[in-house]
Amino acid sequence: MLLYMDLNCFNRPFDDQSQGRIAMETEAVLSILQRIVDGVDQLAWSAVLQLENSQHPLPDRRNEVARWGGLASVNWPISRSVVQRAEKFVGGGVRPLDAVHLAFAEAAKCDCFLTCDDQLLRKGRNLGLSLRVLNPLEYWEECSYA
């Protein structure tokens, strides 16, 4: 599977692990990243992920996420079609940065877009995308039962 992971997925392991949901999502994200390392899944990366990550205030986190980006098998560039598609998503109520992530994932022909953002999950599932929008825990559970 070709996966696009929202930046919040990469940052989930740095969040407060005392909360049950966060700990479970962290386990799922780390397991998915291991699948990428093992070549079971592939990672798509984009210019917007690189830009968003470069603005993180903590260098250790920024560097760790950038390291994961280095494992991407697909690195999708910005294009007019991505911008136009993102604008359509914004018109559908998606926040601009989230819309660009979705547009990149769709343009790269990803199978799944993974995010821990509940609002983006709800909105993304109603956009008629050519890919599935899932929480990483949902994806990991599917992989575990396959």
pLDDT digits (tens, 9 = 90+) for 115-130: 999 999 999 999 989 8
What one-character-per-residue DSSP string does 9-66 give?
HHHGGGS-TTSHHHHHHHHHHHHHHHHHHTTSSEEEEEHHHHHHHHT-S-HHHHHHHH
pLDDT band for position 6 (50/70/90)?
very high
In the predicted model, is pLDDT for residue 146 greater than 80?
A: no
Q: For the residues 55-66, what does the mean pLDDT come to? A: 93
74 neighbors 43 (Cβ within 8 angstroms): yes
Q: Please indicate whether residue 79 or residue 28 has the higher confidence score (pLDDT).
A: 28
CB atoms within 10 A of CB 34: 11
Range 53-82 average pLDDT: 91
pLDDT average, residue stretch 26-47: 96
* pLDDT at residue number 144: 79
Residue from 40, 43, 38 nearest 66 by CA: 43
pLDDT at 12 exceeding the cut of 90: yes
> Domains, the chain, ranges and CATH?
2-145 (3.40.50.1010)
pLDDT at residue 80 in the model: 94
Look at residue 72 in the predicted model and tell me its pLDDT.
94
Q: What percent of the chain has pLDDT over 70?
A: 99
State pLDDT tens for residues 72-114.
998 888 889 999 999 999 998 999 999 999 999 999 999 999 9
